[in-house]
Chain A
């Protein structure tokens, strides 16, 4: 406990330097902005801004990128409540009750509980990350290569199982991602694999190109093809204060949402969107106001909004302690860390205490900033919505273009991004999820390393994966998850939960 406080103190010392505060604020502002704006999400934004962070120290870069992710969860609720328009996927369920509340004249109360709930959940999640970090790290340090391989396999399978749509196709996307990750120089022999003689490919396919093409450009095109539906008039905000009854009904929902969100955030493949769905389902069944659901029940705002913010922070736990990204945003964080020369993994807590504790402290500071950014300044964010998409998308496009070029000052990366834009477009038309592909791409090369090492140590005996207890249990869970999702009844439940 004392050690934890000392470490947190160190973290706050790092996070409270002028530069880090500024970048944390910048991240939160950008996050809120993209959260408010439909049509651009955290994955596209973070890949867009990756190149900008290179000039900064690793800690500052990650602090800012993290701010974008959890900031987007705050911002997403604003448009969901006022305009019935989810700014992010994770705010889709907020529209159900939040917009109804706004129509009943309680928009202000909905916004307040969304912000307060998020702040509370963020604080709890921050403590959770701080407490579990060193604990999990010490466990992870006893992992051998075989255990790591199985752990990553588990991560990949769960992320595919929990992805939207068909499990089989998602598993296919994960493997496709692993296959893409094979391109480049083989680490152990130095042989060039699948580079077609292109020197730029010897370092592998550009990570930022994949992310920008599939999440940035393909998104723009899909948005352009859809007719714009944003002319809805914003509801009046009204009083920001909660009544006593609203407060007493929302409090247990916030608590439940925080728990659900924290748990679902840690799960590979989980994250903010899954958490808010999970919490909404729970509130609809359990809360005191469940009869009012559909007519503006405050629990339906308080629970999911707390959950998505908690999840966006606890999803850092597997990344910071095991080096395993839980979702596409975390896969981008791995990319950012590797570009900064830091290999994510259990040694990070000890080797990079500034980064680990600084990031945790900055999360809490960021949450405090977001409370201020969101509540009194709500009118400004609503104004932002009046910028039509036709002015927005060329801006996103040129920022993508400059960003991807400045990565290594090479136009090849620009053309590579065009290719992935097309691929991303085709994939989304065929309902093939790009998020599992990105996770597979990031984990693939690490898995190959561990597989080779494990097999070398076991002298070519595959049984090593089932003989080691840690590895065996990971594989067992992975198999169970796969089988469970092939059962029709469970699959229907998941589809229903994700579709609503």
Chain B
């Protein structure tokens, strides 16, 4: 007898402890929209917020399958979002109804059972049937149009094609073309307000109008161009400093070196035997410098 009493007390104690354990599904909230006023083709969204213990996982196979549930009810979308906060799962179901009632009619979204897995065990939670009313869209009597045919809504007309995207592209590309065009015009010395971009352009034009016989004048033109570019008279021994401030002219260093040597020989050493090659070299130097000025080199 004493043993029986002790056993009963033990069992009572154990059952009391089990009540202290939290339920596997701590929260189940079914959020449904208004249950009335629907028409054929309407979509109905159901949302379920489920909170479970961390070791409890929703079995996705227990969710209704996307597609036709019955003749008049489609399940268009099933989405399951598991929150970063562990244990919270949000299930969204988007139904679409294709029923044509003759009068306001009560229909129902069928019930289903959600299954949860917990350490090899299955826990079930039933989602109840959801009732709603659907109304007809057209009158019961047969409506005729002017020609005596059954009235039906007309075809959908296409909207006029929009050209706004194309205009945006036109404006954007023209703006870019204008900017690059202006920059190129600047590089090519088309703007008198930036005379430094026009130095060798003028020199080359001036040399083009002269001949080999005008070598002195030609040398003076090129010297003047270098002086203007350097903002002060440029002599051969200033060339290293010149290349430091005008690094782009380093590429023509050999020709510039030749020019200063040749110029010294003609203007100061009395060199008389200038030939066509010398004139050609001078023109070529001017042309190379013009290309450097334009940014081509």
A binds B: no
Chain A interfacial positions (CB closer than 8 Å to B)? none
Chain B interfacial positions (CB closer than 8 Å to A)? none
